[in-house]
Amino acid sequence: MFKPICKKTVRAKLIIAVSSLIAVISVFIYFYFPLKLEKQLLSSMTIKADQISRMIAYGATPALYFEDRDAVNEIFGAALLNEDLEYIQIARRDSSVFAELRRNPEINYSHGEMNKKPIRRRYFTVIREMGYNNQNIGFLHISFSMKSLHEDVELARFHIALISLSVFMFGVLVILAISRILSAPLNRMVETVEKIAAGNLKERANVHTNDEIGFLARQFDIMVDRLVTAYKNLDELNQDLEIRIESRTAALRLSNAQLKSELRERKQVERELSAERIRLMATLSRINEGVITTDEDNNVSVMNRVAAEITGWNEIDAIGKPIGDVFKLPVSADNGATGQDIQVFLKQHDDQENSSHITIVDTESREKELHINVIPIHTLYGEKTGTVFIFHLWINSSGGRDTNLKIFQA
């Protein structure tokens, strides 16, 4: 029920709401004021009937007491001057009728209407006691026609209905005009929003009223201007980004080509180095001296067969081991519990070739004296990349160790 109303425009909602309010006011006017008028007329009728009945009772009481019918007839004649007066009856205390006046003899003025609401009755009846010398001598029954009152009420109701309808129609016309004035800027804004949503960013609301709607429209136009500026900046950034991406892509293509070329060259060098390594190992295997090559961290990288036989190490197991583990120096009583090891020797002769004699212990704990040549390996830029150890077993002419030679032990 409420969904169709919620989907209506602001103008339609405003018209429905205010028209409903005006309709309620019109209905209130139509029902309230006739009732109020009826009460006022009925109150006037009550006061009027009370006054007339009081006057008639005042004049008719002596006539009833003295049974003076001529006086009663004069009173009745004067009372008939009131056009609303329909019926007068003077009754004795025992309810016997002393005098009676009927304006229309064919109408029965019964008191059966006393149970109806006063405004619904055809006649307004007043019953008043008649007393003389503080004694009740009879009753006065007087009835007034309510035709004129009903006619006045109906006429007033008709006029009020016309007024209510006029108020409603005028209110609807006014609210239509006001809603048209108020909704025009909103309709303009809605049209602008729809066009902008469709992609026309040149459209503007252009509402110049000095109220909240005008302020909202101006702020909306400012927002659209900023949005257009942001789109332009974004387009410029996108164009600049596309140029950068194309430039970067070209650089990456060139770099990729260079990397592929370098990779091919490196693979070629690796193949050549592998072949050279094979030839080197074949050559070293034929040399009668032990040869061990280490990397820049002094870990074994190459060991030939003679070096394996002298040290007791397997050629494969020795690869990657520190040179200090391969060239194990024995503990000597002459030189202390721990003497210099091969690492100290290398640090002392880091950048130069050196030839010396050392005693080592092989893997079977046998001491062997060696004559060893230590040759550092350097790049073209002078950076050390490793060391070559060339050695063989050594025995002096006296059959013992030469005390003039340096002995490095651990």
- pLDDT at site 138: 92
Q: At what angle do helices 212-286 and 147-197 cross, to 10 degrees?
A: 30
- pLDDT at site 404: 35
- pLDDT at site 410: 32
Examine domains 2-172 and 287-393 and report if their fold is the same.
yes
- pLDDT at site 408: 38
Which sequence spans correspond to the domains of the chain? 2-172, 212-274, 287-393
Other beta carbons within 10 Å of 49: 20
- pLDDT at site 399: 47
In angstroms, the Cα distances linking 145 to 44, 112, 129, 389 are 13, 15, 21, 151
- pLDDT at site 353: 75
Please choose, from the candidates 138, 98, 141, 99, the residue with its C-alpha nearest in 3D space to the C-alpha of residue 123: 141
- pLDDT at site 229: 86
3-state SS, one letter per residue, for the chain: CHHHHHCCCHHHHHHHHHHHHHHHHHHHHHHHHHHHHHHHHHHHHHHHHHHHHHHHHHHHHHHHHHCCHHHHHHHHHHHCCCCCEEEEEEEECCCCEEEEEECCCCCCCCCHHHHCCHHHCCEEEEEEEEEECCEEEEEEEEEEECHHHHHHHHHHHHHHHHHHHHHHHHHHHHHHHHHHHHHHHHHHHHHHHHHHHCCCCCCCCCCCCCCHHHHHHHHHHHHHHHHHHHHHHHHHHHHHHHHHHHHHHHHHHHHHHHHHHHHHHHHHHHHHHHHHHHHHHHHHHHCCCEEEEECCCCEEEEECHHHHHHHCCCHHHHCCCEHHHHCECCCECCCECCCCCHHHHHHHCCCCCEEEEEEEECCCCCEEEEEEEEEEEECCCCCEEEEEEEEEECCCCCCCCCCCCCCCCC
pLDDT in tens, the chain (410 residues): 444 544 567 777 778 888 888 888 888 888 888 888 888 888 888 898 889 889 888 888 988 888 888 888 888 888 888 888 888 889 998 888 898 888 776 555 555 454 455 556 788 888 899 988 888 999 999 888 888 888 888 888 888 888 888 888 888 888 888 877 777 777 777 788 888 888 887 888 777 777 777 787 788 888 888 888 888 888 888 888 888 888 888 888 888 888 888 888 888 877 766 666 666 665 666 678 899 999 888 899 899 889 888 988 988 888 999 988 888 877 654 443 333 466 666 666 666 677 888 888 888 888 888 888 888 888 777 788 888 889 988 865 444 444 333 333 33
* Fold observed for domain 2-172: Beta-Lactamase (3.30.450)
- pLDDT at site 113: 52
The whole-angstrom separation of Cα 388 and Cα 32 is 124
* Fold observed for domain 287-393: Beta-Lactamase (3.30.450)
Looking from the CA of 133 toward its CB, the CA atoms found within 13 Å total 4
- pLDDT at site 277: 64
